[in-house]
Amino acid sequence: MKHSRLSLVLLGLLLLLPAAALMFFGMRLGISLAPALWILVTLLPAFILWRSRLAPLGELLEEEELDSPHALAARLRKLHQEIAEQQLRAELCEKLIEDLFAAMREGCLILDEELKIIRANPRAGNFLGEEELIGRRLPEVERSPEILEAAPSVLGGGSSRSLQLENSRGIWGIGVSALSAGGILILMEEVGARQRAGELRRRFVQDLAHELRSPLTVIRTTVETLGDELPAGAAPRLVRQVERITRLTEELHELASIETGEMELHPELQDLRPLLREIVGDFSDVAERGRVELQLEEGAEISWCFDRRALSRVLSNLVDNAVKYNRPGGWVRLSAREESEALILEVVDSGRGIPPSELVAVTQRFYRVDQARTPGEAGLGLGLAIVKHLVQRMGGEISLDSIEDVQTRFRVILPRGESEC
């Protein structure tokens, strides 16, 4: 602003020079030349003033569709205020991000495209054993070859990576993913305590289920021996309850064995069709009593590498549920096919279906169908949990879609595993 005022003062002085010159030369050369000299000596300064000040101002007013310099000044004041507000919001966002980073339970690193750390939280320092991280490159603070290989791979366009590393500060789950604005994000979480707690829980369930077997056998034998001395109908009811508890302990033991990895799989290259026929035969009587049509679509011969016992358990549980939660006059269809180097197994039924809100919970342990919708038919809630964990052990995945009162479809996808046979 000071420079602008000084320029205007200088221009004003420049315009005064022709007047002084006219007064001097007018007296020497005659009054008749005064107007011509005035026009000549003022034309150049006026042109300079117009080019430097007035023309740009006019163009700016026209471009902004303003009618006066006062309106332009008001617009500039408004823009200045908006810029100040934007700066304030940016500062608040920066403080919020810092607070979120500090409060995160996971360690968090943000790296630029040169693998230089541009942001880190204290938890990341715990993982790396370093306090000063900002501005340092990843290889300077971390020596794990897994991370040093994953970070450039993800940065170069590779998919996100999940790792598990162990160091002197614990067992850590590491996630490396790319950022849309460039750079990568590394999240790290200490998972050792959670893994130990899960292992203790599985061991406890496994040991408890094992220890309950002998007492249950004794109780059942005693009830059957005293059958005549008990009130009418009491013995069969007691036997059914003992069988129910026995089945629960067996399934708990089986699930714990799968989760701990103690259940060994022995895949063999074999034809799938005999297994499918066996399962349909096992449930044909149950389906007939419930007036449910059990269908098999086996197609051509499918030679696949699989553990027969594990796959039989998976399909049996799915077919059992499909028949149990069906309706008289309904149907259940078991099918198998090869598709893109994968085995697709489907169990589809025309039963009551599953509400959308419960689809995620279906494969969790102890999930049970709403007894109001299926009176007297609810199971133990472990069958589908066993199915999920067995499929995962076989390297596959399971999906579910259901439309209430129309149909439910369980799909098991197993990758080709001939190398294991």
Cα–Cα distance for residue pair 62/309, rounded to 1 Å: 83
H or E element, residue 398: strand 397-403
Which is the CATH superfamily of the domain at 104-190?
PAS domain (3.30.450.20)
Multiple choice CATH, 268-420, 3.20.20.70, 3.90.1310.10, 3.30.565.10, 3.40.50.300: 3.30.565.10
**Pairing relation of β-strands 117-120 and 268-271?**
unpaired
The two tokens of residue 55 are 């023309």
Output the pLDDT for position 292.
92
Cα–Cα distance for residue pair 186/175, rounded to 1 Å: 6
Cα–Cα distance for residue pair 402/358, rounded to 1 Å: 10
**Is-contact 386 255, C-beta < 8 A?**
yes
Output the pLDDT for position 58.
65
The 8-class DSSP code of residue 221 comes to H
**Is-contact 390 314, C-beta < 8 A?**
yes
Angle between helices 308-324 and 273-289 (to 10 degrees): 30
Query: Which positions of the chain have pLDDT values less than 50?
Result: 1-8, 31, 371-377
State pTM to two decimals: 0.52
Cα–Cα distance for residue pair 324/379, rounded to 1 Å: 9
Cα–Cα distance for residue pair 175/292, rounded to 1 Å: 48
* 410 CB burial (10 A radius; 0-12, 13-18, 19+): buried
Cα–Cα distance for residue pair 152/66, rounded to 1 Å: 53
30: alpha, beta or left? (left if phi > 0; alpha if psi -120 to 50):
left
- What are the two backbone dihedrals, phi and then psi, of residue 84, each rounded to the nearest 5 degrees? -65, -40
Output the pLDDT for position 129.
78
- What are the two backbone dihedrals, phi and then psi, of residue 225, each rounded to the nearest 5 degrees? -70, -40
- What are the two backbone dihedrals, phi and then psi, of residue 385, each rounded to the nearest 5 degrees? -65, -40
Same fold, 104-190 and 268-420: no
**For the chain, what are the domain ranges?**
2-63, 104-190, 194-260, 268-420
Output the pLDDT for position 347.
94
DSSP string covering 365-396: TT----TTTSTTT---S-HHHHHHHHHHHTT-
